[in-house]
Amino acid sequence: MNEVSEVNEAGHPTVADAVAEVRQLLAAAGLRDPRREADELYAAIVCGTAGTAWLERDQPIASIMRERLVLAAERRAAGWPQAYATGRANFRGHWLAVDARVLIPRPETEGLVELVLEAVGEWESGKVGEAHSSTLTHSHSPTLPLVIADIGTGSGAIAIALALEAPVSGVIATDISADALNVALENAASLGAKERIGFRKGDLLLPLLDDTVDVVVSNPPYVASDEWEALEPGVRDYEPRLALDGGPDGLDILRRLLAQAREALNPGGMLALEVDARRAAQTAALADAAGFAGVELRDDLFARPRYVVARQPGNAARGS
């Protein structure tokens, strides 16, 4: 490994020196955009923004931080996904700890959170039903404050974002993986959301037992089993299959989730799912067949049908 060639006036390596070092390492490994990746690795290490490396370029870098940055670059050069290389992923401005126990949260899932926040905002303001795009009519609006269930929470990304950003009385986060729940619990504690989230181990909505909720939100496994080998290596070789494989047609888990959500949602409640764009219409049809009302497909930022949103039939009767 090349040693840092430049130092600041005090004789210590600077952030710019360290970033230049890892940029060279990434370039030698053949990564397409080593400059951008080096900046992003540094941002993750310090929990900053993409511009942090430039803003702090003249500052001395502590030896332990340089070692972490170089280790992350070596992992990235070896093919690790960037989030696993640094051990961190940014989700809606919240830095989450991530590793091979959990799926890496993606921008599409941020859009799922945005849909829930939009609906909650409409309920709170009493404007539900005024906008053509709304999935819920005013007569079916749940009463605030709400209880939200995040099913298959993984790193806790969705549950934590909603606990911190939505006017809710509580969030229930479930996962079948004890390892994933440990990661989610650590993230909730580090971000100050631990007291607002109840973590429960079990399959889909079964851990809710007799509890009912106002929103069911989930990014469930939806990759068809025979599509696994065709996934890009960064996903197939590193991310947990349990969080991705949705069975022979990619819809097995969604079918069970829809049936369970019909039992767990309060009247007028919201269902919000992130789905495979290739099977979005099938998923919407399954939601309709399961008895949900107002089933809609929503596009992601890339104009792909990525989300299924619907409501539980009936009038909300729960008190505030």
Q: Parallel, antiparallel, or unpaired for β 265-274 and 213-218?
A: parallel
If asked whether residues 176 and 207 sit together in one domain, one would say: yes
DSSP class of residue 92? T
User: Would you state the pLDDT for residue 213?
Assistant: 97
pTM: 0.90
CATH of the domain at 243: 3.40.50.150
**What average pLDDT does this structure show over 154-169?**
96
DSSP bridge partners of 148: 171, 215
Residues 180, 137 within the same domain:
yes
Q: Per-residue pLDDT for 206 more than 90?
A: yes
Please choose, from the candidates 274, 247, 273, the residue with its C-alpha nearest in 3D space to the C-alpha of residue 261.
Answer: 273
Identify the CA nearest to 245 among candidates 116, 179, 152.
Answer: 152
DSSP helix/strand/coil, 26:
helix
* CA-wise closest residue to 87 among 218, 187, 215: 187
Rounded CA separation 46/91 (Å): 15
The pLDDT-based confidence of 320 (bands split at 50, 70, 90) is: very low
Query: How many other C-beta atoms are found inside a 10 Å radius of the C-beta of residue 319?
Result: 5
Supply the CATH number for residue 38's domain: 1.10.8
CB 50 within 8 A of CB 43: yes
Same-domain status, 24 and 114: no
Pair type for strands 305-311 and 265-274: antiparallel
Q: Model confidence over 40-83: pLDDT tens digits? A: 999 999 999 989 999 999 999 999 999 999 999 999 999 999 99
The whole-chain average pLDDT of the chain stands at 91
Q: What are the angstrom distances between the C-alpha of 130 and each of 36, 82, 123, 136, 269?
A: 43, 42, 11, 10, 17
Q: In terms of domains, do 54 and 159 share one?
A: no
The domain of 41 spans: 15-86
User: Is 2's pLDDT higher than 80?
Assistant: no
Let me know: does 46 contact 66? Beta carbons within 8 Å.
Answer: no
Kindly state whether residue 273 falls inside one of the protein's structural domains: yes
Query: Residue range 200-205: average pLDDT?
Result: 98
Residue 90 token pair: 């940014």
How far apart are the C-alpha atoms of 112 and 165, rounded to whole Å? 13
Written as one string, the DSSP assignment of 57-83 is: TTSB--HHHHHHHHHHHHHHHTT--HH
Residues 75 and 198 placed together within one structural domain of the fold:
no
User: How do residues 87-124 score in pLDDT, each as one tens digit?
Assistant: 999 999 999 999 999 999 999 999 999 999 999 998 88
**Look-up of token digits 């390596």:** 13
Q: Residue 127's pLDDT is what? A: 56
Contact 138, 126 (CB under 8 A): yes
The single-letter DSSP state of residue 253 is H
161 and 222 fall within a common domain: yes
- Beta-bridged to residue 299, according to DSSP, are 305
50, 177: one domain: no
Q: Phi-psi bin for 311: left (phi > 0), alpha (psi -120 to 50), beta? A: beta
Confidence of residue 317 (pLDDT cuts 50, 70, 90): very low
Beta bridge partners of 305: 299
Tokens of 259: 């049936």
The reply to whether 100 falls in a domain is: no
Q: Domain check: are 182 and 76 in the same one?
A: no
Residue-level pLDDT at 11 = 65
The number of distinct structural domains making up the chain is 2
Considering the domain architecture, whether residues 126 and 32 belong to the same structural domain is answered as no
How many residues are recorded in the chain? 320
Q: Which residue has the tokens 């829809």?
A: 258
d(CA 165, CA 160): 8
| pLDDT for 4 | 41
- Cα torsion angle, 156, 161, 164, 170, sign: negative
